[in-house]
Amino acid sequence: MRSAREEGDDMRRRVVVTGIGVVSPVGTGKERFWQAVRRGESGIGPVTRFDASGLPTRIAGEVKDFDPLKYMDRRTSRHMDRFTQFAVAAARMAVEDAKLNLSEEERESTGVIISSGIGGMETIEQQHRVLIERGPGRISPFFVPMLIANMAGGQVAIELGLKGPNMAVVSACASSANAIGEATLLIKRGKCQIALAGGSEAAITLLSFAGFCAMGAMSTRNEEPTRASRPFDRDRDGFVMGEGAGVLVLESLEHAQKRGAEIYAEIVGYASNCDAFHIVQPEPEGRGAAKVMEDAIKDASLKPEEVDYINAHGTGTGLNDRLETAAIKKVFGEHAYRLAVSSSKSMFGHLLGAAGAVELITTIMAIQDQWLPPTINLENPDPDCDLDYVPNVGRSGQIRVALSNSFGFGGHNVTLIVKRWGI
């Protein structure tokens, strides 16, 4: 049995990011993605993946430049839902970016935690049509393996031969942020030296849209799709659904330095909690959101005034934007007006279970480039949202420490904190 001191020594292990892979509505691949974000491009447009003409919302952030055959053979791709294809592609890009050349021993212990908030919704709908039109005898034997949310991580492990800890954390829109946090803890505890972590989502389907429309949660600015996602703006009318995947290669600092890896940033803080209030609405005072930021700052052994930038959850819904702003003020006091806050969802929409990972990638690239990403479409600020949201145009700025928030249905709250490497 290990002593408390030994456990404490483990938790002091440092965890760094050495590889990035991304599939998004503004571009696939780290460089293409980041240049689009820097320019403040919108990836929102009319839905093309199904006939949305009968719905109040007919716009989304679709991935437009994705070819699964660049990352897998045709037969393999046919046995994967779109969300799994995205995950495999992002994982391969991340491994290539990290210049990982894993030995067999390293493959035995490399972890994979890749999450999805919804899983194979496209497969569910397609196979339901088969059931109704052709009968139960024509259902694919791959139906269940294609739809389950853990299959993104499972297929990544199969494709890359990774035999370490493997799981999917499902916490709605906080799923991939939780995945990255839990992978960080795996490395800190010495369970593995390397982990692939992130999330994937491909829920732009008729049933998903019908469900979110029934809730009145999505924007109906169909005639102006590029202006529809407008976090913190007085005229916001709901979120815009996106799709995509983000996967990061995490390593212990010791392992990364031993192999001479390029280090993007260090993950220094992680916290997770629950509002325990309502299935879809945030707690009215934003107490859970405030506490998760406070806990992450404490985990990072930082002071609030050391945080330079926050990548907000910033959905463009009335409640979220006001309450997240109030929570930031509660945690940071007067410093809230000195730090920069922005919402990447203004550009590529809400990627649901993949949002946390893709937004953390945005945050890390911001640190790398010392560039504050904009919140586009912020034309008429909500009086209750009075912080510096980097409106409409990004700008250069010193970012040593950055915080990324992810909140999900069920009251799930997650905060990750990353630090510029070498300071």
Query: pLDDT for 10-35, tens place per residue?
Result: 568 999 999 999 999 999 999 999 99
Distance CA 180, CA 174 (A): 10
Which H or E run contains 19? strand 15-24
Burial of 11 (0-12, 13-18, 19+ CB in 10 A): exposed
Give per-residue pLDDT as tens, 86-137: 999 999 999 999 999 999 999 999 999 999 999 999 999 999 999 999 999 9
Q: What integer is the mean pLDDT of 157-177?
A: 97
Longest dimension (CA), the chain: 64
CB neighbours of 31 closer than 8 A, spacing ≥ 6? none
- Give 200's pLDDT tier (boundaries 50, 70, 90): very high
Alpha carbon distance 328, 378 (integer Å): 19
pLDDT tens digits, residue range 345-384? Answer: 999 999 999 999 999 999 999 999 999 999 999 999 999 9
Residue 65's pLDDT is 86
Cα–Cα distance measured from residue 357 to residue 364, given in angstroms and rounded to the nearest whole number: 10
- Within 13 Å, how many C-alpha atoms sit on residue 268's CB side? 22
Residue 417 main-chain phi, psi, to 5 deg: -125, 130
The average confidence (pLDDT) of the chain is: 96
The two tokens of residue 331 are: 């945690």
Instruction: Specify whether the CB–CB gap between 114 and 247 falls below 8 A.
Output: yes
- Kindly indicate the confidence band of residue 9, based on its pLDDT and cuts at 50, 70 and 90: low
Residue 400's identity, in one-letter code, is: R
Contact 31, 19 (CB under 8 A): no
Residues composing the chain: 423
Alpha-helix runs per DSSP H in 12-73: 30-39
pLDDT for 4 beyond 50? no
Contact between residue 402 and residue 367 where contact means Cβ atoms under 8 Å apart = yes
Determine contact, residues 276/411, Cβ cutoff 8 Å. yes
Q: What pLDDT score was predicted for residue 6?
A: 52
Return all residues near 69 (Cβ < 8 A) that are at least 6 apart: 77
* Mean pLDDT in residue range 71-83: 96
Tens of pLDDT, residue by residue over 284-342, are 999 999 999 999 999 999 999 999 999 999 999 999 999 999 999 999 999 999 999 99
Give the chain's domains with CATH numbers: 4-258 (3.40.47.10), 270-413 (3.40.47.10)
Region 173-202 average pLDDT = 98
Q: Which residue(s) pair with 283 in the sheet?
A: none
228-257 mean pLDDT: 98
Catalogue the active-site residues. 173, 313, 350
Residue type for 242, please?
Answer: G
Between vectors from CA 301 to CA 300 and to CA 306, what angle results, nearest 5°? 85
pLDDT at 396 > cutoff 80: yes
Residue 64 is predicted with a pLDDT of 94
Q: List CB contacts of 269: < 8 A, sequence separation 6 or more.
A: 296, 297, 298, 299, 300, 302, 403, 415, 416, 417
**Token pair for 156:** 């990544």
For CA atoms 274, 275, 277, 279, the dihedral sign is: negative
Tokens for 4, please give them: 């408390």
Tell me the two tokens of residue 416. 């990750």
Q: Which pLDDT belongs to residue 1?
A: 45
pLDDT of residue 250 exceeding 80, the answer is yes
